[in-house]
Structure 1
Amino acid sequence: MPRRRRQPKKKPFKSLLRVLPALGMNYPCTGYLLHRPRRDESVVMVLEKTGLIPTGKGKAATCSAELVDQALAEMFALGLHPDIKIHLTAQNGGLLEFLSALKKAVPWAQNLGESVFIELCERLVAARMVYRETSDKSWELNRCSTAMSIDQMYKDIRGLWNIAEFELYEIMGGYEEEDDAKGPSNTMDDTMDVEMTDAPPIALEGDVEEENIREGVRQMNIMNRANPRSYWYRSEDA
């Protein structure tokens, strides 16, 4: 009787949500933060490589969460530095250019692909905003360092955090380029950055000026929406 071939053991999924700060954050219900599990794993690998997540056995998850919380809080605080914040309002700037500049200024993010970093920032802010819009006034009291840093950044730039730019980036394939380039291995050493400046310009119907669009977004009432998860995560399934 022929011997049955033993199936190779599957590697355990390295959960990013397991080490992210939870107080004052409302993460997606999918079990992972980014739109594909392997993108979560790429962030975990970087955090391990830079020492923000202890790799030794027996290390408490709370220890990891505290280190990651501090690192993320410092990252969003750095976004308010004048040399980085200026990218939001520069002539050829915007939210994506702002996040690109922020990535270059964050030491532990150097091994992350640019699209992964952009999505990481988007989803972390989304997690905070969903919590704020679905909780009572306690959202101002019960919050981790990351949540406090996001609150300060959002208060300072407010309408310039325009989710329409993320939607456009996704439509253009920004979140897919690195996945397609790396294939299933998803190794860190060959991470390919996505430069938005190389993307072809998109014509806006009716010749509407970009500044008018930005001003309209600034004046939108984003609070008390019927389904904040659908808005911030841009998906009913999040």
Structure 2
Amino acid sequence: MPRRRRQPKKKPFKSLLRVLPGLGMNYPHTGYLLGQPRKDDSVVTALEKAGLIPTGKGKAATSSTKPVDEALADMFALGLRPDIKIHLTAQNGGLLEFLSALKKAVPWAQNIGESVFIELCERLVAARMVCRETSSEPWGPNRCSTATSIDEMYKEIRGLWNIAEFELYEIMGGYEEEDNANGPSNTMDVEMTDAPPAALEGDVEEENIREGVRQMNLKNRMNPRTYWYRSEDV
């Protein structure tokens, strides 16, 4: 009898929500934080590589969130550094440029794609803002370091955290960007004579998205409940 082909083992889903700090945050109940489970996986893997959570079977699900909490708090604190904050108000700047500069300053974030980092920041701030709206003591002592750091950053930049920019970024396909930060793909190399390199095309597309956001000069909506989480995430 012919041997039955062994089915490839499925990689276990690395839940980002299990390693994120919870005090003072209100996360969605979708089972994962970002738009797709693979994006959560990529962030967890980056945190593992940085030594912020232990690696190995089952360890990420039970590890302490304190190192991750401190890393995320430091990340948002970096957003107030003058050389990063200036990107919010620069002539050709904006929220996306600000987050791009912030990513470059965060060592562990070098292992995730830029679109994943942008969505991570959006969702973490959203989680804090929803908690602030729904908690009876949003400013009490029961806040993780990440929540406190988000409060300090948001107090400084407030109106410049333009949710409409995130939505336009998503509409124009920004969150669908392939995450190539985890290493090269297994596709065959094909010699191209006239076409520009794929990396260059991606850079041009990213810049077009940012330029579109800048020129539209979008304003925040008045009711934050309509944009902290969208559609099924509410």
- 1:152: which partner in 2? 152
- 2:132: which partner in 1? 132
**Aligned 8 A contact 2:17 2:33 in 1:** yes
| Residues 72-93 of structure 1: CA deviation (Å, up to 9, x unaligned) | 0000000001110010011110
Name the CA shift for 1:76/1:26 in 2 (closer, same or farther; >3 Å).
same
The SS at the match of 1:30 is coil
**Aligned 8 A contact 1:34 1:40 in 2:** yes
TM-score by length of 2: 0.82
**Aligned 8 A contact 1:46 1:109 in 2:** yes
The SS at the match of 2:38 is helix
Deviation at 1:199, TM superposition (A): 3.9
Name the CA shift for 1:200/1:111 in 2 (closer, same or farther; >3 Å).
closer
Gap runs ≥5 in structure 1: none
- 1:235: which partner in 2? 231
TM-score by length of 1: 0.80
- The amino acid of 1:50's aligned partner reads A
| Residues 61-115 of structure 1: CA deviation (Å, up to 9, x unaligned) | 5654100000000000000011100100111100000000000011111111100
Structure 2 CA distance for aligned equivalents of residues 28 and 199 of structure 1: 27
Alignment length (residue pairs): 217
Deviation at 1:237, TM superposition (A): 3.7
Out of 183, 188, 207, the residue aligned to residue 189 of structure 1 is 183
- 1:94: which partner in 2? 94
Structure 1 CA distance for aligned equivalents of residues 170 and 15 of structure 2: 23
Within 5 Å, give how 1:1-238 maps onto structure 2: 5-56=5-56, 63-136=63-136, 138-141=137-140, 142-178=142-178, 188-190=182-184, 195=203, 196-199=206-209, 201-202=211-212, 210=217, 213-214=218-219, 217=220, 221-222=222-223, 228=225, 230-238=226-234
Name the CA shift for 1:23/1:203 in 2 (closer, same or farther; >3 Å).
closer
Structure 2 CA distance for aligned equivalents of residues 82 and 156 of structure 1: 12
- The amino acid of 2:97's aligned partner reads E
Structure 2 CA distance for aligned equivalents of residues 57 and 139 of structure 1: 36
Structure 2 CA distance for aligned equivalents of residues 167 and 140 of structure 1: 28
Choose 75-84 or 191-200, whichever is displaced more: 191-200
Deviation at 1:197, TM superposition (A): 2.4
Deviation at 1:231, TM superposition (A): 2.2
**Aligned 8 A contact 1:23 1:144 in 2:** yes
| Residues 141-180 of structure 1: CA deviation (Å, up to 9, x unaligned) | 121000000011111111111110001111111111215x
| Residues 113-153 of structure 1: CA deviation (Å, up to 9, x unaligned) | 100100000010011111111121x1111210000000111
Deviation at 1:209, TM superposition (A): 7.0
Gap runs ≥5 in structure 2: 186-198
Structure 1 CA distance for aligned equivalents of residues 79 and 99 of structure 2: 8
- Give aligned-pair identity as a percent: 73
| Residues 179-206 of structure 1: CA deviation (Å, up to 9, x unaligned) | 5xx6xxxx702497965324485499xx
Deviation at 1:15, TM superposition (A): 0.7
The SS at the match of 2:138 is helix
- The amino acid of 1:197's aligned partner reads E
Name the CA shift for 1:79/1:20 in 2 (closer, same or farther; >3 Å).
same
